[in-house]
Structure 1
Amino acid sequence: MQPAAATEWLIAYASQSGAAQAIAEQLLPAFHQQHLQPALLPLNALQPGALSGYSRALFIVSTYGEGEAPDNGAAFWHRAHTARPDLTGLNYSLLALGDRGYADFCGFARWLGDWLDAAGATTALPRHELDRLDADVLHTWQQQVSQWTGLTLQAPASAPFQQWTLRERIQLNPDSPGPPAWLIRLLPVGDLPHWRAGDLAQVRIGSIQRTYSIASLPEDGALELIVRQVIHGDGSVGQGSGWLCCHAEAGATVAIQLRSNPGFHLPEDDRPGIFIGAGTGLAGLRGLLRQRQRLGCPDNWLLFGERCQQHDRWLAEELETWTSEGKLLLDRCFSRAGDQPEYVQHRLAAKAERLRQWVDRGASIHVCGSLAGMGNEIHRLLQELLTPEQWHGLQQQQRYRRDLY
């Protein structure tokens, strides 16, 4: 089969944690070997009608939470769900990334496939759905894409697991009414690898793998995580958090794979930054704030929620030092604060005017923590507090970035 002409090809992705984007980018060498230059774009960069300008497309699409579009696909969905362009000249393949732990498995990708079909596009290959990046399904899809395109696709490379040693752990919330939370500090066996603020650590303990937001920078000399100890109803502890927080002794080793998370990285400039989180979501935000402090970026605003004011002032010395030096605007909220319990979304609503002013100044917003609770509430609240122009500007300009679990 002869490869299609360069102007015919589109590779489009919608990616939250970076996995779909990485798969899309790893397709390029096969095209370049045949002197082809396909358009490689996030869905948000496309107008629905512009798809008619391509005859062949590869869509690599994640689903976020319970059937949502990833942030770099949400603006496309907003434009597309009422649009009906004529796509009868488009042949496409759709690779869907998801997690069967969620009720609407691959929900956004299925919506996209139905929308493409309704617009007259032709499915060149059956849709492939990856549960947690199932390597066998991915390999099958690659083989079929190779047969369809006439290109030789290489298996995507992934960062190796490396051995790290437990250096120390510090409890962040002694005597808190909530489960213990720990700052875990790990040192590499060998050279310290590189990562960026906002990246993730896949930790493998026995047969269990858990993903944690990284709370430190390579310049700190160690990998730091913030881990909440899981305690089951019978008093037993979770396997992963139990090992990290309780059982492992200093010097014990653990396998970790560092994962890029480009959708949560900082912007390249020093625009104002709004950082919103609760609980262990402080980990990802701390990494970003440390990077901004290192670069001397002004206008940092952190809204952080936990349980008890007396016992849950996590990383107080560090955060309050930045505050006293005028480098951080800090709003702490406590859900068990006597007669005035407050969640982070309540504080954000009370500071709505400041929020709108910062967004008008070009601020980016990073949200880290639980999707089901805080994350969904903040998402809804931002749409309520901001004007439609502000909200769509955040999405279109990739100034709204989330790391939710």
Structure 2
Amino acid sequence: MVAIAAAWLLATALCLRNGRSAAPASAASTGGDAVLVAWASQTGFASALAERSAAMLRAGGREVVVLPLDQVDATRLAATRRALFVASTTGEGDPPDHALGFLRRMDDRDLAHLEYALLALGDRNYAAFCGFGRQLDAWLRDRGARPLFDRVEVDNADEAALRRWQYEVARIGGDAAAADWSAPAYHPWRLAARQLLNPGSQGGPVHALSLQPASGALPAWQPGDIAEIGPGHPPQQVAAWLAATGLDGTAQVDAGDGPQPLAGLLARSVLPDPDGVRGLAPQALAARLQRLPHREYSIASIPAEGRLQLLVREMYRQDGTPGLGSGWLCRHVPVGGTVDLRLRSNPGFHPPAADRPLVLVGNGTGIAGLRAHLAARIAAGARRNWLLFGERNAACDLFFGDELRRWQEAGWLERMDLAFSREGDRAYVQDRLRAAAAELAAWVDAGATILVCGSAGTMAPAVDTALATILGAERRDALREQGRYRRDVY
């Protein structure tokens, strides 16, 4: 881990030295609107990641204050509405030396006003992996603080987990255009098919996409794993940028992965201000370009089905133009065209043992990750499956509806509860959970695992509250610690 962390520290130091454009933490606002970024570090790795996270937030226009955890007191937490914690673990589950007294000296005041995210750093060679990060997470939850997304755990500076953290920080207010912290290692995939699933829906268009490797065999993945997509700009946007700079898009350049036309490189890069690059030679420009940040999507299929399937809802910017990732996948890549893709293992959402009952809860495009779990359970012969799914309208928005009903009729879905918020009793999945409280408790008594996939801002907190009401907060939290209550929310 030392060598990997040292490389990250060097890269972070260079990034912060060359790229920081905002005031240092000591000059940042200390008001409630400022995001607190608190770190607990033994070797300097956690503090460097905290600084890099803070730089993303500043670039996104947020006020930030960065502090070591030992300088965070109850008064500051009481005045903070949003916080990021980056916490290392040392020894056998211990906090870094400077953070030893943090939890002991904090009082038990209510933190229900606080939204937070937590990055836990550790090493799986030790029994208490991410022990202090997990302890800090539990302490925050016990006092009512609300996680913006589930704890991200990093084993030995694992790049995939760090990309997940970067992606989530960008979503909550950071620089969404920031290049990935680790160099992308995409593979070319072919878009084999694309189908609009919800014509006439009150929500955004949702497309099912099927992809195949451009060459070679289909790789392995597990239910719950993530497809990281390298998006691109539409050709007309690149052409307009080239026209504004006067550069020749057909000029051959090499950014480290072989000769290619400048226009092709620009399509996959953050486009700089045209005024800042006029007069540059094409190769000099190529050396400056940064790769567009990846976008993440739950995989809806399993390898045995012979394809990688995604479910993508079109998103829009404030000016009405399509979002970077969804616009690329749903509008701009032609069927038969190439998509840059890399797989990321997501062990926190992998399936439980096939002989245990499984309760799947989700809404919207969260059905993608749940469908993969159901497909895997059917392949394993597991029939104790319960799906609770919510969307707007039954006629338009029951994704994979025909397939789900076939599975239910064949006995693969023991129970399916649907909730539609724009018709009938206008219910949500948390309403269905509360209505089935006794049955849910019985499934949990029988050893069930609960997997939740979908909206982090609305559905997931409501489901979390419903589980606390049905099972009791202590039992809900015990299920989380046992790995029997897991979430993949966005």
Task: Give TM-score scaled by structure 2 length.
Answer: 0.55
Aligned length in residues: 299
Out of 15, 19, 24, the residue aligned to residue 123 of structure 2 is: 24
Cα deviations by residue, 1:310-338 (Å, 9 ceiling, x for unpaired): 21121111100011112111111111005
Task: Name the residue aligned to 1:311.
Answer: 396
1:278 aligns with 2:278: no
Distance in 2 of aligned mates of 1:47 and 1:208: 32
Task: Name the residue aligned to 1:381.
Answer: 466
Detail structure 1 runs of 4+ shifted over 6 Å in the superposition.
Answer: 44-48, 102-105
1:72, 1:395 within 8 Å by CA — same for their partners in 2? no
Cα deviations by residue, 1:350-382 (Å, 9 ceiling, x for unpaired): 111111111111100000011111011111211
User: Which has the higher Rg, Structure 1 or Structure 2?
Assistant: 2
Cα 1:159–1:274 shift into 2, 3 Å: farther
Letter matched to residue 221 of structure 1 = G
- Taking the TM superposition and a 5 Å limit, the aligned residue runs for 1:104-143 are 134-135=181-182
1:70 aligns with 2:151: yes
- Taking the TM superposition and a 5 Å limit, the aligned residue runs for 1:128-207 are 134-135=181-182, 160-190=185-215, 191-205=217-231, 206=268, 207=292
Distance in 2 of aligned mates of 1:12 and 1:216: 40
Distance in 1 of aligned mates of 2:212 and 2:94: 38
Cα deviations by residue, 1:179-220 (Å, 9 ceiling, x for unpaired): 110111101012211111110011011224110111011111
Cα 1:12–1:286 shift into 2, 3 Å: farther
Out of 258, 262, 265, the residue aligned to residue 350 of structure 2 is: 265
1:10 aligns with 2:92: yes
Task: Name the residue aligned to 1:357.
Answer: 442
Q: CA deviation at 1:266?
A: 0.8
Q: CA deviation at 1:68?
A: 6.7
- Taking the TM superposition and a 5 Å limit, the aligned residue runs for 1:37-76 are 38-39=126-127, 41-43=129-131, 66=147, 70=151
Answer with 255-264 or 305-314: which moved more: 305-314
2:354, 2:377 within 8 Å by CA — same for their partners in 1? no
Distance in 2 of aligned mates of 1:403 and 1:294: 22
Out of 388, 404, 421, the residue aligned to residue 335 of structure 1 is: 421
Q: CA deviation at 1:71?
A: 8.8
Structure 1 residues without counterparts, runs of 5 or longer = 1-7, 29-37, 49-63, 74-94, 106-130, 136-157
Task: Name the residue aligned to 2:33.
Answer: none
Out of 371, 381, 393, the residue aligned to residue 478 of structure 2 is: 393
Task: Name the residue aligned to 1:91.
Answer: none
Identity of aligned residues (%): 40
Task: Name the residue aligned to 2:385.
Answer: 300
Letter matched to residue 416 of structure 2 = L
Letter matched to residue 162 of structure 1 = H
**RMSD of Structure 2 on Structure 1 (CA):** 3.4
SS of equivalent residue, structure 2 residue 476: helix
SS of equivalent residue, structure 2 residue 123: helix
Letter matched to residue 337 of structure 1 = E
Task: Name the residue aligned to 1:348.
Answer: 433
SS of equivalent residue, structure 2 residue 221: coil
1:278, 1:306 within 8 Å by CA — same for their partners in 2? yes
Letter matched to residue 335 of structure 2 = A
Distance in 1 of aligned mates of 2:179 and 2:473: 34
